[in-house]
Structure 1
């Protein structure tokens, strides 16, 4: 993870789970940030500028196109029409074990399904790494699109979630894995 300058763009987007910040490079979607109020956006954009250089809206037509495509796909997902994201992903904010786990999650756990932490560790050939899978979920730079909300405890518990348990419940409900709240 070097301090290389890349073309990138970002937008803020309202969603049923609160405001999101989406950032992309010319390679694809780079970052999804939950609860992106003004303070959170400022902090996230500053981190991206430190890592990738000035960047920002309008700086790169390719990055702008990917961030807009990601926004369209997320809108469709939240409307219940999209079951699989196809926007290219830029994996440069992760690496090693975390990247292996997140790539397996992105390709191997479909809409409306869940996976346990241990099962995901087994899938990447690290059977003793269930806790490390949890750490990888917490460090996921692309939540929702790389569906860390689909990772649950083997005993049936919902598990943790960096975006908050209410957000996780809302996403699992959207995908038909939890019942609609009664009130």
Structure 2
């Protein structure tokens, strides 16, 4: 009974997952959204194949936190492949350069060929990111959306609301007179 090797090119909104078998043949290659249901879905489908699965990711925090939370909940064997290693290994594989699918394929092949990749655990500093990403189980028939995070404005200040930006006359107050710049040209001095 062979193993499956899953390489994940992590992205902010989507991940690309490429799964290969012991011979290096692609079994699954698909783009999945970065949400709990999609990640659980592909992990569940791969789990039904009754083969040991090893996972590898190219990021340890940030966008990978939800993915890692789902994989750790399933007691998955997760390894880390750095960007430098991925870049060097990509030179060995022909095909499209620098696409998410190709990167996921390279990560999976690297995982299959190299036994020296570090194993990720919650003790590796990913615990805080994973804990922050943990979501309650999704309700049936409802896909959870991304969490709301207001974007800071310039210099870290929050963006003003549309009401604060509105003209004073639109807010029910009389408009204050505006200063007009003097644009007349003056004659040069002699």
Aligning the two structures, in what range does the TM-score lie when normalised by the shorter sequence?
under 0.3
Q: Larger Rg: 1 or 2?
A: 2
TM-score by length of 2: 0.27
Higher helix content, 1 or 2: 1
TM-score by length of 1: 0.28
